[in-house]
A and B are shown apart, each in its own frame.
Chain A
Amino acid sequence: MKFTEDHEWLLADGDTITVGITPHASEQLGDVVFVELPELETQVAKGDEIVVIESVKAASDITAPLDGEIVEVNDALVDNPALVNEDPTGEAWFFKIKVEDPSALDAFMTEDEYKDHIGE
C-alpha cells in the first residue's frame, strides 16, 4: 500500500489502483454524511477533484492520484457514508482507477514515510 500527501491510500492490482482515505484523514474529517463519487468510465487527470466528501463540519475532496480511467466506484458509500469513519482502509474504498503506467506508484510514500508525514 502507498500513500499520498493528501492522506489517500493506494493499493495496486496490476494496472488497477484502489483508492481510499487513511484512518488519520477519516478522523480529521469527523462524521461523514455524504459522498459523491465519479462517473464510471471517465478519463481523469492527476490532480482532478473527483470525489466530494461532506462531513458534518465541512466539504473536502479526493483528487485523482494519477492519470487514468475510473473503472469501478463503491456505491456502498453513497448509501452508508459512515463506512468512511468505520472502516476507512477496508470497506470504504472510493474508486478504482486503471492507469497506463503503474510504475508511477513508486513515487508515493511508503507506510513508514506516511507515518512520519503525519507525525506518528
Chain B
Amino acid sequence: MDGVCNPKALPLAALHEELGAKFVPFAGWSMPVQYGLGVMGEHNWTRENAGLFDVSHMGQVMLPATADAALEALVPVDVIGLAEGRQRYGYFTNASGGVLDDLMIARVPDGLFLVVNAACRDADIAHLRAHIDGVEEIEGRALLALQGPKAEGALSVLIPAVADMRFMDSQRHDWNGVELWISRSGYTGEDGFEISVPDIVAEDFARTLLADERVQPIGLGARDSLRLEAGLPLYGQEMSEEISPIEAGQAWAITKVRRAGGDRAGGFPGADTILNQIANGPVRRRAGLLPEGRAPMRTGVEIFDSPDATTPIGIVTSGGFGPTLGAPIALALIDAATPPDAPLWGEVRGKRLPVTQTTLPFTPNGYKRSSK
C-alpha cells in the first residue's frame, strides 16, 4: 500500500455517472454532489415533487434484539420501550456531555437496526463493539432516500403498503422477491422514505423509481440546503464532541423515561452534564438566523450583539442560501443569555451585517404523522 486513499465508489456510481452527476469526495466516498438540475433546481424539485438520494455512504448496523439495554447505556433515548416497527432518533454521547454521532434506531423483527453517519461509521461500530456483543455491520445493502410530497405516490406504485406507514415507522416489504427495509423518515424536512436495498438490485430499483416522472436524482448539495432549511442539525457542525445536544436544540430527543425523575433516568455517558443543562439551561444555545440582504453567512461567521462589539457572542455552524425562502439562512451557536428577539450582527469579510433571529424550522416540515 502506498498510503494514497482513493475514495470508495457507491454501489450506484455507474448510474450516477450516466445521469450526469458531478462528484465530490466526502467522508472517504466519491459522492454525487449535483445533477443536471443544479443544486437550486434539485432543492426546489424535492420540495414540490420527489427527490431520490443515494445515501449508501451511511453505515447500516444490526444489533441483537437483546442488546436494547446495552444500547440504552450509550444513548439518552428510550430503546427498551421502542415498539417493533418503529424508529427513533438518538445520539451517542461522551463523558463530557458532547455528541459522538447522531443516529436512527429502529426495532425490527430480528433486532435493532441502526443508521449512522458516514464520517463516524468506523468509530461508531468500534464504540458499539466495545459495549455490545453481536454488533453486525451490514454489508451489501445500498441506502436510498426518496423525499418530498410526491414520495408516497411514487413509492406506493411499487409497494402499495407504504401508503399506510406514518412518520418513523420502520417496516420490511417485498419488491420483486427481495426484502426492502423501509422507514418513513429522511433528513430534508419533507415526507419521505429511507430504503435499504440489496446491492444487486439497487440499480434496478433506482431506475424503476427514476422512470416515474415525479422522481429526479438529487445530490449532496441540495441535501444540505434542504436539511438546513428544515433546521436539522448536521453532525460535525451543529453537534460535536464539544457541543452538547441541549446546546444544539436537540433536547426533544431525550425521552421522558431517561430524564430526571424518569424510570430509567440517566445512565448514559455525560448524563450529569446533560440532565443539569436540561434543568438549568445550557450556556450556549442554537439560534436560527435570517441575515438581512442577500449575502450568505457561512460556517465560521462570528456573531455580535452590536455593530461595534469587540467580543463575539456566537458563531455560525451552518449557513447558506435557502432556495425555498429565496434568502440566506444560518444556524448559529450563541450565548444562551441572548434574548430571542435581540437584533444581531454577523461579520462577513470585515463588515457587520444585521441579522434577525427566527424560530425553526425555516420552512414548515411535511412529515406524515397520522396514518391517513
Q: Do A and B come from one complex?
A: yes
Residue of B nearest to A36 (CB): B295
Contact A31 B40, beta carbon cutoff 8 Å: yes
Bound CA–CA A34/B296 (angstroms) = 8
Contact A33 B294, beta carbon cutoff 8 Å: yes
Given A52-B349, A59-B298, are A34 and B328 neighbors across the interface (CB < 8 Å)?
yes
Chain B residues positioned under 8 Å from A34 (CB to CB):
294-296, 321, 328
Does B39 make an interface contact (CB < 8 A)? yes
Given A33-B321, A34-B328, are A54 and B295 neighbors across the interface (CB < 8 Å)?
yes
Interface residues on A, range: 10 to 19
Of residues 311 through 331 on chain B, the ones whose CB sits less than 8 Å from some CB of chain A are 320-321, 323, 328
Chain A residues positioned under 8 Å from B349 (CB to CB):
36, 52
Contact B320 A56, beta carbon cutoff 8 Å: yes
| Partner among A31, A54, A59 whose Cβ is within 8 Å of the Cβ of B39 | A31
Bound CA–CA A52/B323 (angstroms) = 19
Bound CA–CA A31/B323 (angstroms) = 10
Contact B323 A56, beta carbon cutoff 8 Å: yes
Bound CA–CA A34/B225 (angstroms) = 16
Residue of B nearest to A61 (CB): B349
Does B64 make an interface contact (CB < 8 A)? no
Interface residues on B, range: 10 to 19
Contact A30 B296, beta carbon cutoff 8 Å: no
Interface string of B22-55 (1 = CB under 8 A from A): 0000000000011000111101000000000000
Contact A56 B298, beta carbon cutoff 8 Å: no
Contact A30 B294, beta carbon cutoff 8 Å: no
Given A30-B39, A33-B321, are A57 and B294 neighbors across the interface (CB < 8 Å)?
no
Interface string of B324-366 (1 = CB under 8 A from A): 0000100000000000000000000100000000000000000
Chain A residues positioned under 8 Å from B39 (CB to CB):
30-31, 55-57
| Partner among A36, A52, A54 whose Cβ is within 8 Å of the Cβ of B321 | A54
Does A20 make an interface contact (CB < 8 A)? no
Contact B40 A56, beta carbon cutoff 8 Å: yes
Name the 10 nearest CB pairs between A and B, nearest first.
Answer: A31-B40, A33-B321, A34-B294, A56-B39, A56-B321, A54-B296, A34-B295, A30-B39, A31-B38, A30-B38
Enumerate 13 A-B pairs (CB-CB under 8 Å) in ascending A order.
A30-B221, A31-B323, A33-B294, A33-B321, A34-B294, A36-B349, A52-B349, A56-B43, A56-B221, A56-B225, A56-B320, A57-B39, A57-B221
- Where the two chains meet, the residues of B that have a C-beta atom closer than 8 Å to any C-beta of A are 33-34, 38-41, 43, 221, 225, 294-296, 298, 320-321, 323, 328, 349
